[in-house]
Chains A and B, each alone.
Chain A
Amino acid sequence: MGRYLLRRLLQLVPVFIGTTFLIYWLVWAVPGDPFAGKCGERRCPDQYIAFMTDKYHLDQNVFVQYANYMKNLLQGDFGQTFSQQEISDIIATAYPNTLKLALVALAIEAVVGLGAGVLTGLRRNGFLDNLVLVSTLFLIALPVFVVGFVLQWLLGVQWHIVKPTVSSEMRWSELIVPGFVLGSASVAYIARVARTSIAENRRADYVRTAIAKGLPMRRVVGVHLLRNSLIPVVTLLGTDLGALMGGAIVTEGIFQINGIGRSVYRAIVTKESATVVGIVVILVLVYLVMNLLVDLLYAALDPRIRYE
């Protein structure tokens, strides 16, 4: 187990370097002039351009720039924007908001998705089953921005059940609707995976044994059946956290949440490559760590899996 963990952590290094370089290079390759419009109507003074070019190594090739960037990053220095703002400050304000939103979405996925999956998996072809199948298909087919605008308009504008946008305090209660919007497609996938998994396992011999032991039905389902059916669901949930954070840009836009989606969008438009890379680097880290956690969770859920 210890050796497995060490090997997996070492594997993260090349993956981390590869993905971050790719992102750095992509942002670097976007055409455009970082000084365009920087100095108002006029062209920027040559002195300023020379100073900035030297400071940010803009005349060097992409490899040198990347190496410089990584050197600073490893010392905890995300760098500054062209307007001297610390990128770590942008990250520090934007990330907690997005993380909060993603966690709400994840919780909704786990509770609603798993709940619907278990109920329908136990009673297939019933009314509830058909209702869930149709509504999940609906959620999967609809783009996030449609779900988002429709719910915002219905619940926020028409019925006044919630406020149409999220305030800067980011209260948990305000995040329920945006969280559902963000997780809407994933909720549907979770429900379907859980349903299949439960339906597959409920005829298993060990479930029959648990019934034959005279255990109450809620224990048969809640302990014996659920534990075995959770494995594919946990995988999906774990890897989804990264996807939710990266995919929050649309939801954040609709509900006016100051998260990383909006920051990245602004940074791309203004060609602030360091900001884009800084935010995405952390996103990559979230992905990698969640993947590792999911793999470790496998062993906890299924003792037959051994890590050597």
Chain B
Amino acid sequence: MSDILVSEQSAPGSGGSGRPSGRLLEVDDLRVEFRTRDGVAKVINGVTYHVDAGETLAVLGESGSGKSVTAQTIMGILDTPPGFVTGGQVRFHGKDMLGMSSEERRRIRGEGIAMIFQDALSALNPVFTVGFQIAEQFRIRRGMGRAEAKKRAIDMLDQVKIPNAKGRFNNYPHQFSGGMRQRAMIAMSLALDPEVLIADEPTTALDVTVQAQIMDLLAELQRERQMGMILITHDLGVVADVADRIAVMYAGRIVEEADVYDLYAKPAHPYTIGLIDSIPRMDEKGQQLRTIKGLPPNLMNIPPGCPFNPRCPMAQPVCREKVPPLLQVGSGRASACHFAEELVNRD
């Protein structure tokens, strides 16, 4: 049964309500708000990005910038209430997922778009073995028998380079180390061969040495399987080696999007400049670390004009009046700053 559904999904642009664009996954002017007792927090205010097969998009931003909420909305696992989608589309193969029935969306999860989470210890079910949780995908979603599902699950554990995969099959999550747990999580999310993988801060909870191993593994699997990958992170260092493009988020908006090289070489938004400047550098040993002054805005009361203006060293009167739209600056890059042209054209 699921095979029929897969082929139906894979037909590009089949009967979507949006414009068929041939993109694998597109987020288009997405708006999400959280309705809480204290008021309405506008968490996502018109986010637009896309990812194609075989490419990695890094979504960069501070805590509360809306990067995880965007991912949860794509997956359809947003907590409602308090979270409500108030506008925009999420198109998978050109078809708007927000208008689909919950059953249609469920079938896309894991098979079309899969997700791995930050803390694998709490994200894996503590009372079932790791093997069970991977094999479950084959048994429930693919209708395989126990023995075959187990074989496939062990094969998945092998693919994410867990030593002695066969022996580890019957272990519980708490018997794994942090890095191994995240590998198991990756194996589980890739079991159904998804076209898009969303990795929500996959290395934040790990030791630095293990972080690099997990990022390498993700990059390798993404290349091998030609997946589209959305890598959500707040760590600029993690992004550089893995990502093709970077989207920088601030206060529920994309403030800059560019190729990795362009972005590092010549950031076109003062916020990106601040982020890059705040990376600790070996050649500046002994000097004070640079930070971006101030705090992200209260999402229940976003300041008028550019949301970054209270913290921006370049702020002018216009920044307090007009919201800068995300506009093309140069080839293949965009910035939401009134002075983007000046920033790109400086030496």
Contact = CB atoms under 8 A, between A and B. Distances in A.
Interface of A: 203-206, 208-217, 219, 224, 227-228, 301-304
Most B CB contacts (10 A, CB to CB) among A211, A213, A303, A304 go to A213
Most B CB contacts (10 A, CB to CB) among A208, A210, A214, A217 go to A214
Interface string B114-136: 11010100111111110000001
Interface of B: 75-77, 79, 106-111, 114-115, 117, 119, 122-129, 136-137, 140-141, 172, 174, 188-189, 192
Given A224-B125, A303-B127, A209 B117 contact: yes
Contact of B124 (A209, A211, A302): A209
A304 B172 contact: yes
B109 A213 contact: yes
B136 A213 contact: yes
A105 B106 CA distance: 39
Nearest to B191: A213
Contacts of B172: 303-304
A272 to B, nearest CB: 49
A212 B77 contact: yes
A220 to B, nearest CB: 10
Contacts of A302: 126-127
Contacts of B140: 215-216, 219
Nearest to A301: B127
Given A228-B126, A303-B127, A215 B136 contact: yes
Contacts of A208: 77, 117, 123
B158 to A, nearest CB: 20
A214 B107 contact: yes
Cβ-closest 7 pairs across A and B: A214-B109, A214-B110, A205-B122, A206-B125, A205-B123, A303-B172, A209-B123
B137 A213 contact: yes
B79 A210 contact: no
Contacts of B108: 214
A213 B114 CA distance: 7
A302 B106 CA distance: 28
Contact of A206 (B111, B124, B141, B192): B124
Contacts of A210: 125
Contacts of A211: 76-77, 109
Given A212-B115, A213-B137, A301-B127, A206 B122 contact: yes
Nearest to B121: A205
Contacts of B188: 213
Nearest to A224: B125
A159 to B, nearest CB: 43
A203 B122 CA distance: 11
B347 to A, nearest CB: 46
Nearest to A215: B140
Contact of A228 (B75, B106, B125): B125
A35 B55 CA distance: 96
Contact of B122 (A204, A215, A217): A204
B123 A206 contact: yes
Contacts of B136: 213, 215
Contact of B79 (A203, A213, A214, A304): A203
A214 B127 contact: no
Contacts of A206: 122-126
A205 B126 contact: no
A78 B115 CA distance: 65
Given A227-B128, A303-B127, A205 B109 contact: no
A217 B107 CA distance: 12
Given A208-B123, A224-B125, A228-B127, A304 B114 contact: no
A214 B141 contact: yes
A85 B119 CA distance: 67
A212 B199 CA distance: 12
30 contacts: A204-B122, A206-B123, A206-B124, A206-B125, A206-B126, A208-B123, A209-B123, A209-B125, A211-B109, A212-B110, A212-B114, A212-B189, A213-B109, A213-B110, A213-B188, A213-B189, A214-B106, A214-B107, A214-B109, A214-B110, A214-B141, A214-B192, A216-B140, A217-B106, A227-B128, A302-B127, A303-B127, A303-B129, A304-B172, A304-B174
